[in-house]
Amino acid sequence: EYITDVNCMYERLRELNQKLTHTGVEHLTGYISKLKTFTGEHWISDPLKTLVDVCEGRGMGSRNREKKYNSQVPLTSFTDIIQPESETAVYLQSLIVYVPFNNTVKHILTETFTKWTNNHAKLQMTLFYNRSLSDALSTLSENLSKVGNIGIEIMASLHREQEVNKGQIGQYTAKLNQMEHQVLEIRLSAVGVVRKLLEEIEI
């Protein structure tokens, strides 16, 4: 079970990543430096990091279909900077199996969804002064806020011990599907967290 369980695999990866980071390897932390270069800023605001941490590049398959990349195109776009897999999303999804009976996990999820909901408003100043960011992130930021709001509604129902009916689950799922890949070449991995929550409720 330890070998084949997905959550165990990610736990082992987290431990290995921490050890590699301590040796100076920047395979995970390096994206912050790239993001600073992309934004032209010396520091990254918390709202910007919150958004970036739940975005994933969609990989070469998606890019090849766009027919706009070749060996002469520098890998310096926002898609090149973000992580191929969101550690934040993976961690939150690993917690969700404990939602029915763990108040600590419920608290973590509610706080996270609230943070996502409020993040777009907090990011507005950064987007206003940085046009390159605004073009790349505006839709992603708005969608993260909407995803967070769906998460809050679900958690509120769980807190009141009210059933989320199939009609509501269908509506939520349709909205999530629309937002997940709405921005070209980028997956909003926050969607996967709320979708996992819906799947656990439906079971």
Residue with tokens 């806020």, as numbered in its chain: 145
Q: What Å distances lie between residue 56 and 69, 128, 168, CA to CA?
A: 18, 23, 27
Interaxial angle between packed helices 103-129 and 87-96, expressed in degrees from 0 to 180 and rounded to the nearest 10: 150
pLDDT exceeding 90 applies to what percent of the chain?
Answer: 43
**Cα–Cα distance between 145 and 179 in angstroms, integer?**
11
**Cα–Cα distance between 39 and 145 in angstroms, integer?**
22
Predicted confidence (pLDDT) per residue in 90-148, tens digit: 999 989 987 766 889 999 999 999 999 999 999 988 887 777 677 778 999 999 999 99
pLDDT at residue 74 in the model: 44
Mean pLDDT lowest among 18-32, 48-62, 79-93 = 18-32
Q: What Å distances lie between residue 96 and 107, 167, 199, 202, CA to CA?
A: 11, 21, 10, 13
Is 39 exposed, middle or buried, given 0-12, 13-18 or 19+ CB atoms closer than 10 A? buried
- Residue pair 172/40 in contact by the 8 Å Cβ criterion: no
**What is the rounded average pLDDT of the residues 8-21?**
64
Helix (H) or strand (E) holding 197: helix 190-202
